[in-house]
Structure 1
Amino acid sequence: MSIIDTIDYSGDCCYKLLQTGYPCHTKYTLYVLLNRPELKHSNWTELFAKSDQIYHECDELTSPGSIEFVAKCTENLGNECGEQVYNKLIHDGRITKPCCQELVKNGLQCHTAMVKSLIRIPEMRNANATELMKKNSLIFNHCLHV
């Protein structure tokens, strides 16, 4: 068993991995292989394949869905409500009743897809993805009862 086989990757870790991008991930894998003495005699082809597998599994785990779906969700929510939802998610702002109704009308799948898309952008690199996904559910549940 290699060191890579022992990694338990979480959603938050996967978001961070995707935010760094595939080229950076590959360069870091190479760096680890070159600098970890216990890996010097390992099969690098297998380790790179496992590294790629981890990257692609993280991509699937955190995928918001098709860009068309996310775009339609964003369009349906509208700019004003989108801003309110963003401010609630990031800054614990306020969402009006009409925006809550619009959010609920769009559905949880749309809301989750938009939040997953937001988390994946590089500007959100320092955000805690796990916490944002929890807040995502809390916001939607709050809006269900408004």
Structure 2
Amino acid sequence: MASLNVYSAPGVLFLTRAVAMATKENDQIIKDNNCETKMGLPCVLEAFTSIFEIGTISSKCCGELVVLGKVCHSTLVKRTLENPLFKYLSPARIIANNIQTWNNCLALIDSPSPSA
């Protein structure tokens, strides 16, 4: 049993270090792209709800999300998934919701508005 602990300790250390490196990398991307300053709080909350819970995102907030950019959008979602507060969430479901929200917003923004 002692040998199991000797071998598992480096594995845990490696995984902990990999998560810390991913978090630092995501934080750097967010900082370099000023991601946290590109959307207003009401739209951040709408986007969060549409990705991490059950909700919709308005066309106004879709516009802000598209201006935010895919790199910022994806990195902010990844960073949120790394937060222990959200460990109960299914990463596969969140990634699917993330892609669906992004694609829906792109389609909404790219489609011409109906004429009156």
Give 1:60-75 correspondences, 5 Å limit: 60=21, 65-66=26-27, 69=30, 72-75=34-37
CA contact (8 A) 1:64 1:116 kept: no
Opposite residue 61 of structure 2, the aligned amino acid is C
* 1:52 match: 13
- Taking a change above 3 Å as real, the CA distance of residues 50 and 107 of structure 1, as seen in their structure-2 partners, is same
Q: What's the CA shift for 1:108?
A: 1.0
CA contact (8 A) 1:88 1:94 kept: yes
- Taking a change above 3 Å as real, the CA distance of residues 64 and 80 of structure 1, as seen in their structure-2 partners, is farther
* 2:42 match: 80
* 2:63 match: 101
Name stretches of at least 5 consecutive residues in structure 1 with no aligned partner. 1-38
**Percent identity among equivalent residues?**
21
Give 1:8-47 correspondences, 5 Å limit: 39-42=1-4, 44=6, 46-47=7-8
Opposite residue 49 of structure 1, the aligned amino acid is P
The number of equivalent residue pairs is: 107
* 1:7 match: none
Within 1, Cα distance between the matches of 2:4 and 2:59? Answer: 58
* 2:103 match: 141
Q: What's the CA shift for 1:89?
A: 1.4
CA contact (8 A) 2:63 2:105 kept: yes
Q: Secondary structure at the match of 1:126?
A: coil
CA contact (8 A) 2:52 2:97 kept: no
Name stretches of at least 5 consecutive residues in structure 2 with no aligned partner. 109-116
Alignment TM-score, normalising by the size of structure 1? 0.61
Within 1, Cα distance between the matches of 2:54 and 2:24? Answer: 24
- Dislocated runs of 4+, deviation >3 Å: 58-64
Give 1:1-12 correspondences, 5 Å limit: none
Alignment TM-score, normalising by the size of structure 2? 0.74
The two structures, once aligned, show a CA RMSD in angstroms of 2.5
Q: Secondary structure at the match of 2:56?
A: coil
Opposite residue 102 of structure 1, the aligned amino acid is E
